[in-house]
Amino acid sequence: MIALYYFLLFILSIYSYALVDPNLTLVSSDWWAIFRLKMVELGYYRRDISWLIYLVIIILLFVFNYFFIQKYKHLSVIKIAIFTGLILLFSYPFLSHDFFNYMFDAKIATFYHQNPYFYKALDFPSDPWLRFLQWTHRTYPYGPVFLLITLAPSFLSLGKFILSFLFFKLTFVFFYFLAVFYLNKINKKYAIALATNPLVIVEGLVNSHNDFIAVSLGIVGVYFLLRSRSKIFRLFFLLSAGIKYISFPLIFLTRNNKKWNKIIFAWLFSVLIYLSFKSEIQPWYFLNLFIFLPLFIQSINRLDLFFFGLLVSYYPYIRLGGWDKAEKISLKHWIIAIALILNVVYLLILRIKKSEKKNVA
């Protein structure tokens, strides 16, 4: 079963290149040119097949996640995390261009020796990376902690794209392993729930959104909150907030007041919903909920219908081609809204059944 899971991750890693940017050259070689040509043909010209492949992969990821959570006692979660990270280290961030902006933002500091809070990609028009960048008109939009983290892989890459790509991917794999490691120290079930969750796999490792690094630091903070009498947990919560400011309320989490923690969890979820309605619903925003995994694992595990909807909402992008029309974005939002409604109905049914059992008892 585990071997089949690794094979599925390998297929996902290969498939992720179906939407590789045609302007992007990872390496100068004949095999890469042939591989890219085949994947571009699949992703851009056989979108019906591409979508079916993606959908099957996502469904199977949820099946494996459910199986692993049920059988977690017999699994080595650390080994699963290591192999998962290694397999997806070479995956392509096929559903978002943010990853490449992270790379260039850090390059502004390490290669051009300028402050990305004041300089943008368009200020360096001769740079060859601009061929495949988006959001070139904006300055650095994230907290300073993420910038500091990205300076190391950027500096080590010496301005070389392929090295920067691999070192940045390795950074996300490191924080993935860090989160799994500390969750495993709390409870093995928590660790397997995160390590194999499809939303984490796709948005945290493949698409490599910086929200996941904030989540990883938040999880380390929760570990120290639950297992240590020191106040070091606040440092990790502040570091998390220094990447995405939405994590700031974490500093008010407590060890024993479950009701208060529920209020913070509900507040964060409400803010995510508000931000989604205010602008656009982005699936990776909801990675932030996994910070609360050690506190409310049952509640998070019961959001699978919603998480499935978040990942399926890429249908317009994969099958119909991009986000170039308002109708496609609207369809994306409808898919997510329907999934959320179905999940709420499911939770209500569970609540009614639980109430009936209490009355019978």
Average pLDDT estimate for 35-58: 95
Q: What's the pLDDT tens digit per position in 255-280?
A: 888 889 999 988 888 888 888 777 77
Return d(Cα 313, Cα 305) in angstroms, integer. 12
Looking at every residue in the chain, the average pLDDT score rounds to 92
The pLDDT of residue 361 is above 70: no
Does residue 18 contact residue 94 with C-beta atoms inside 8 Å? yes
Closest CA to 289 of 197, 181, 227, 357: 197
d(CA 35, CA 159): 25
User: pLDDT tens, 158-176?
Assistant: 989 999 999 999 999 999 9
Q: Give the Cα separation of 150 and 144 in Å (integer).
A: 10
Q: What is the mean pLDDT of residues 183-196?
A: 96
* Domain count across the chain: 1
CB atoms within 10 A of CB 58: 20
Convert the pLDDT of each residue in 111-133 to its tens digit.
999 999 999 999 999 999 998 88
What pTM did the predictor assign? 0.93
Nearest to 43 by CA among 18, 25, 68: 18
Q: Which domain holds residue 97?
A: 2-360
Within 8 A by CB and 6+ apart from 154, the residues are 103, 106, 107, 109, 110, 111, 164, 167, 168
pLDDT tens, residue by residue, 246-256: 888 888 898 88
pLDDT-based confidence at residue 38 (cuts at 50, 70, 90): very high
Closest C-alpha to 97, from 294, 256, 317: 317
